[in-house]
Amino acid sequence: MSVTDRLIAADVFALVLIGLVLILGFSGKRLKVHGVYWMFLPLLGLFLLSAIFADKPDKAFTETVILLFSACVSIAIANLIYNLTEQDLKIFLKGYALLLGVLSAYFLLDYMVLNVAWGGLKGTFRNTGQAGTFLGTHAAICLALSMSGLVPKNWIYNICIGLLVLALILTVKRAALIGLISGVFFVMVFLLLSKSKTEKRIGVRILVITALTIFVGSILVQIAIELVPGLAWRFETKVNSDTVDDFASGFFAENVEGTLKALDENPFVGVGAGNVAGVYTAKYEIHSTYLGILATSGILGAVAYLMFVLRCFIMLLNGGRNRADDPYAKFIFYMLPMCMGMFISWGYTYHLRKRSFWFMVAMLTAIYAIKRRRAAEVVAAQYYEMEQEPRPVISAPA
């Protein structure tokens, strides 16, 4: 399968975004490439190196090109967001949250009324797993936007986020659900341990809201189970104890075994992306970011990935400081625990090729850059005011 065979409508739209950014650059706008993207280059280089030694180098090269394209699209989105005026940025963020709410409402309507598909909600995606990963990532972003105040805390946006979370629940995508629940839990821990009394109160408020959400959500899910054929079966097959035991002894064990076989074959640079299924595992690629990177790019690739992750967390830690009156810093502060939750979920899913992951990186790097720009503008304004103040005239003694 070639690169062109993997193109979909979203990728064509992404090419348009890249073109718009190039036009911005030629028109004199300042384009930025955050250090997170530079830190991704070593990992990309390891994937390219592993392609040379792969049994199917064309397949490994295709996967590497897809990762490069994803990173380039993310850079383009980050620059488009960064170059928005503050007013336009508010409109964009509110429109983004509303769009996710409308999309979730459509997914729910299609699943529960129009289509009545067997199993979990999948919307326009090929399967429920893809839908769950998409909804889980965007739910984390929208929750952070709401908590930071970058989107209004009124009933319209609350309903949108509620629909987004409900759609995620009905995918019964365990990894995405675990990631979001863990992220919200870490948010509460961060707030309750904060030195700020205001943040402690927010933590208590989130705890109460979470409890109410779980209560109402359980009622809505029970109604959905009764109304939608196949949903009860999916819940039963996904969350019962036998399924967990089968996962640990079957699917996960096969992933570990496949990783060990690949490492034994080429421990330093791996066997190449897309070269695991049917060779080191029975049918599928390794269903874990961490095991997958070890298998496809080896120990060196794992080190490069850790460097990339470390750079992401350094940005989140730095960006969340001095957040008292800065909604952009608050957004980054809330995204840190949300990302911690997602890193738990990525132990079972492969996030690097997901468009939603790279959109999240674009949002984080753009808002981090905007935060720094605003801070620099404040310092410059204060310096200018100091320069404009009249200085006392001291006359020489007679």
pLDDT digits (tens, 9 = 90+) for 127-180: 888 999 999 999 999 999 999 999 998 999 999 999 999 999 999 888 999 999
pLDDT digits (tens, 9 = 90+) for 219-239: 888 887 887 777 777 777 766
Mean pLDDT, range 43-63, rounded to an integer: 92
- pLDDT value at position 276? 85
Mean of per-residue pLDDT scores for the chain: 87
Q: How confident is the model at residue 274 (pLDDT cuts 50, 70, 90)?
A: confident
Residue 249 pLDDT exceeds 70 = no
- pLDDT value at position 230? 74
Q: Residue 350's closest CA among 291, 304, 267?
A: 291
Question: Among 94-103, 108-117, 266-275, whose mean pLDDT is lowest?
Answer: 108-117
Mean pLDDT, range 374-378, rounded to an integer: 83
pLDDT digits (tens, 9 = 90+) for 336-368: 999 999 999 998 888 998 999 999 999 999 999
Contact 335, 141 (CB under 8 A): yes
Q: In this structure, what are the phi and psi dihedrals at residue 277, rounded to the nearest 5 degrees? A: -60, 130
Q: Residue 17's closest CA among 78, 90, 94, 66?
A: 78
- pLDDT value at position 2? 52
Amino acid at 344: I
Mean pLDDT, range 12-20, rounded to an integer: 86
- pLDDT value at position 379? 74
- What is the Cα–Cα distance from 355 to 360, expressed in whole angstroms? 9
- pLDDT value at position 4? 54
Q: Residue 277's beta-bridge partner residues?
A: 281
Residue 195 pLDDT exceeds 70 = yes
pTM for the whole structure: 0.90
- What is the Cα–Cα distance from 181 to 184, expressed in whole angstroms? 5
- What is the Cα–Cα distance from 378 to 380, expressed in whole angstroms? 5
Q: How confident is the model at residue 275 (pLDDT cuts 50, 70, 90)?
A: confident
Q: What is the token pair recorded at 148?
A: 């930071």
Q: Residue 236's beta-bridge partner residues?
A: none
Amino acid at 142: C
Q: Residue 308's closest CA among 34, 38, 65, 33?
A: 38
- pLDDT value at position 37? 97
Question: Among 55-69, 283-297, 340-354, whose mean pLDDT is lowest?
Answer: 283-297
Q: How confident is the model at residue 396 (pLDDT cuts 50, 70, 90)?
A: low
Supply the DSSP symbol for 248: I
